[in-house]
Structure 1
Amino acid sequence: MTTLFEEKKGPNTFSTSVQQFLESGKGPSAHATASDLASTVTSSDDVDNALWELWDAFFNAVARSPTPHTAHLTLLSAFAALPPSRPGSQESSRHAQSDGSLRWADLPGFSAQWRDVHDILESRRGEGGFPAEAFLRFCSFSAVYLRDTRGAGQVHPINVIYAARGTLERDAPKTETLSLDVNVASVWIRDGGQTLWDSDHDSLRQHWATTLDHPTDRWPDGRGLTRERWAMWQERLKTLSVDEGELDKDTKAVAGEAANVIGALLEEHH
């Protein structure tokens, strides 16, 4: 769930502090801000709800902020650098470790909530306007986060495949969202492609075999993540980057950048 589309939001304990850090660039450091927010979580009577509110405030800020999301990523890194802390509440958290502490290096609650927000934004992207903008911003942030954490964070490289498969491997993508979907797929590949390329393919296959082998219009044999599949993505992106149809200039530019990333990977590892 997300409060992003709620006209009358209830109070969020964390929104003001998150926004002040992201907008001002002054005041408390990222570490101090993250420490204060973490302390608010651990002192809450309902730790799990507090974590939900924290990430809701954070993801709302991501979706409403233009790229780049440098300050957002800085704050997230500060959270991940915090030592574990133990909630004061007697009620246990489902995100707690065996000793009852919250391990901030794992960004407790972040991953599941990220997936919820992503899927909600994806489902509403066809509305255009703010929902479409929010989805692109959210994916842009996520792809850079994936790149910066090299796949060791809370966003998995498999999301690059999902984005590419859903757009680049379809013969007839939805016309009303074509430009947005190409932009999103291109951003994931441009910023997250290297991380996907460097991922342990045995581990990918162990956990995501069905996704890797799922047949699509342009990949009917479903032969996993092969060099040929990367090359097919590159050719599709090249074609889209010079499309004279309904793609806008910015989308074509990002598609070209993504094609160049794949080209460099294929050349480096030929």
Structure 2
Amino acid sequence: MSAQYDEGPELAPQNFPEVAPHQPNDSPHYGYQQPYPTPKPEGYTAGSTYAGTAPTTSPYTAAASPFSQHATTDHDLSTKKSRGVICGCSLLVFILSCIIALLSAAVIGLAAGTGVEANRANDATNKLAALSASVSSAAATKTSTAAAPTGTSFNDIDRGCSNDPDGVSGTGYTSFSLLGKVKFTVYCNRDAPGNSFMSLFAADLDTCVDACSSYSMYTPRFFGNNKNTTCGGVSFIPLWTDKGVAETGGAPGNCYLKPAPQTFAGLTVPQIGTECHAAILTG
């Protein structure tokens, strides 16, 4: 610019940015290239034009701040960590913990179930033992009672032989009218000899004698009159009237029909460990 215009405006101080000449191909601008002074390279003086290569990068547009880099790095690390972490532990640890928990629950459940079943088994065993003891005790009491009857135990079923054998021995009994009214003589504590025609359970001595009379009435109709079709007497064992006791002793009945003839002299003393009474045909 020329200095001949004294009254003109003063020149702008040199420390402001220079006005860039207009380039036809440049976009319009308003004189200032930057709002702040651009640092000058070494060797630059005011009023001169530096022909060197202008810096291509502004210090104000330098690489991102290390603080922003640090923030990004922390975020990335946090994201990476969160991908393999569940409930504050790694995925592998979490899976193993779940497996251990399931196995522990299964073991506890099995132990509890086993304990319950063991208690039930013990209770059942105890109840069975108590029941067995009760049955054994009852059986022992029954057997003991049967093995040693009192004098009046069978008095009602043996015509009084249990209480008064001497008074009853030699007395007579006539069988049921529809069975022939056959006469028999009773002998207490005697056993009629010979093999039995048959055995049966009779309610008492009288019924046993009636069975003997019935045998003699009906058997000859099929086999004729002979020694095998005539009942000559009976042996009656009161103890075996109880079928349970009879079964224990292997007895198929308490009344045994014997062949004829039978006599008082032929009667024997019982050797069976319990009472036995006889009645023989007399007419």
Same topology, TM > 0.5: no
Larger Rg: 2
Larger helix share, 1 or 2: 1
TM-score, normalised by the number of residues in structure 1: 0.18
- TM-score when scaled to structure 2? 0.18
